[in-house]
Amino acid sequence: MLDMVLIRQQPKKVQETADRKGIALSVERILRLDGRKRELQKETESYRRERNERSEQIRQRILSATKSELLAERNAVKRLNAQLAEAEAELGEVVRELNALLLLVPNLVSSDTPTGQSDADNVVIRQAGKPPVFAYPLRDHVELGESLGLIDIPRGVKAAGTRSYYLTGIGALLHRAVQQLAIDLLLARGFTLMEVPLLARPEAMTGTGFFPLGADQVYRIPDEDKCLVGTSEAPLVAFYSGEVIDVARPIRLAAASTCFRSEIGSAGRDVRGLYRVHQFAKVEQVVLCEADDALSEQCHAEITANAEELLRRLELPYRVVSVCIGDMSQKTYKQYDIETWMPSREAYGETHSSSNLGEFQARRANIRYRDKKGKLRYCHTLNNTAVATPRILIPLLENHQNEDGSVNLPRALQPYMNGLTAIHPKDAGRGRN
């Protein structure tokens, strides 16, 4: 949410940002409602003041005034009450419409955010590692997963419908191993690990910026007014909602959680395998810090570096791209995506997203701190995916495959896999009965 003062001062910039982010919004309508709201607030204050003054006059003159004079005063108070009620009713309607529109207003973007309309316009800023060249026929992650007994998609579909899967035996161990590797990396860098609710109230989703524009991606729990979270970012930020907190040192939080997304609007996209599924797991980084642009820029670089370090430990080629305004979400001020090389796609695929939200999210969630002068200010918030699985299994299996169908395990993962250095076809079914 943006400060209304900023919207009044920079309406053209706010409208342009909404247009470029693809958000249907009339800033002109917001300004008209805001103006009418302020007019009505003055009117209601005037009516209350005059009513109270006349009521006091009646009380003081009740013994000295004539009946006709008292009746005239009482009738005047009745008229004022009617006018007040009418103005308050209109004010309530205006405030409701204004607040609904303010929830659609996008965050402004950083000066170095690329212009563009889609991910095709994102700008590569650095690249690490070289995509492998295979001298033998390439297997994709589904072929590898099935032949090695790691993945069972047909039974997943049988049990839960499209975009569902089972990870079996060593596949399930691998899924948990990459999460634990990410957790240990973040713990070593000062993050506090949290176990978070997977259910959230709509107010928490609105406060963290996932509603109303992202509501179609969320699974609802009928009759309970709750929903399944699509990322632990929501409950991590909501942990401090409505509070005044101490951010003398940035608060660094991490959570490993199951996540759910309906993937509405993605029909026909990435339908094969594990790239786009309804249920997955993420290790998320969330940072809350003072409203200092240089500090939040530093924190943004840090959380991005954490994700890059994870990919280096997984020995995977990747690149970092600066996300253009047209590919950004409503709440994002600045964003980097990390894309990992996926041989079967012959392309880099997004595996991580790293965002600086400025004070936009904290303003919605009402998370504040006291600055050095004792003034209450909204925090800056940031978030980043340390790892998302099973999507990360796509490059992990495909980049490390061998001609015989086996898959080497990166050295950093081996301690989490009971010392296993590679997965062979003979291992199919290990870890399950």
Which of 36, 48, 201, 276 is the catalytic position?
A: 276
DSSP code string of 167-178: E-THHHHHHHHH
Instruction: Label residue 69 by pLDDT band (50, 70, 90).
Output: confident
- Residue 280 has which token pair? 């997955």
Average pLDDT over residues 361-375: 98
Q: Is the peptide bond before 212 cis (omega within 30 degrees of 0)?
A: yes
Average pLDDT, the chain: 95
In a domain, 111, yes or no: no
Residue 63: per-residue pLDDT: 67
> Same structural domain for residues 64 and 213?
no
320: which residues sit within 8 A by CB, 6+ positions away? 124, 125, 126, 127, 304, 308, 336, 337, 338, 339
> Same structural domain for residues 92 and 125?
no
Which of 51, 163, 252, 391 is the catalytic position?
A: 391
In a domain, 112, yes or no: no
Residue 433: per-residue pLDDT: 39
Look up the CATH number of the domain holding residue 132: 3.30.930.10
Say how far apart CA 351 and CA 296 lie, in whole Å: 22
In a domain, 108, yes or no: no
Query: Are the C-beta atoms of 3 and 91 separated by less than 8 Å?
Result: no
Q: What percent of the chain has pLDDT over 70?
A: 98
Neighbours of 345 (CB within 10 A): 16
pLDDT at 251 over 50: yes
Single out the residue of 157, 53, 30, 45 nearest to residue 105, CA to CA: 30
Say how far apart CA 233 and CA 383 lie, in whole Å: 7
Which of 296, 322, 344, 353 is the catalytic position?
A: 353
Residue 55: per-residue pLDDT: 84
Residue 430: per-residue pLDDT: 60
Query: Are the C-beta atoms of 427 and 408 separated by less than 8 Å?
Result: no
Grouping H, G, I as helix, E, B as strand and the rest as coil, residue 322 is strand
Range of the domain at 227: 119-427
Look up the CATH number of the domain holding residue 32: 1.10.287.40
Q: Is 96 a catalytic residue?
A: no
> H helices within 325-386, ranges in order?
360-365
pLDDT at 322 over 60: yes
In a domain, 114, yes or no: no
Q: Is 350 a catalytic residue?
A: yes
Q: How many domains does the chain have?
A: 2
Rg (alpha carbons) of the chain, rounded to whole number: 28
The secondary structure of residue 277, as a DSSP letter, is -
Say how far apart CA 329 and CA 335 lie, in whole Å: 9
In a domain, 113, yes or no: no
For residues 41-56, one letter each, b for 16 or more C-beta atoms within 10 angstroms of the residue's C-beta and e for the rest, the string is eebbeebeeebeebbe
> Worst-scoring range by mean pLDDT, 201-210, 288-297, 422-431?
422-431
Which of 51, 252, 261, 363 is the catalytic position?
A: 261
> Same structural domain for residues 124 and 57?
no
Provide the phi-psi class of 84: left if phi over 0, else alpha when psi is between -120 and 50, else beta: alpha
> Same structural domain for residues 16 and 64?
yes
Whole-model pTM: value is 0.94
* Span 238-250, pLDDT tens digits: 999 999 999 999 9
Give the end of a domain, one of 102, 136, 169: 102
Which of 350, 355, 363, 406 is the catalytic position?
A: 350
Residue keyed to tokens 């659609």: 104
Residue 282: per-residue pLDDT: 98
> Worst-scoring range by mean pLDDT, 163-167, 197-201, 270-274?
270-274
Q: Is 353 a catalytic residue?
A: yes
Residue 286: per-residue pLDDT: 98
- Residue 412 has which token pair? 């950093």
* Span 180-196, pLDDT tens digits: 999 999 999 999 999 99
* Span 385-420, pLDDT tens digits: 999 999 999 999 999 999 999 999 999 999 999 999
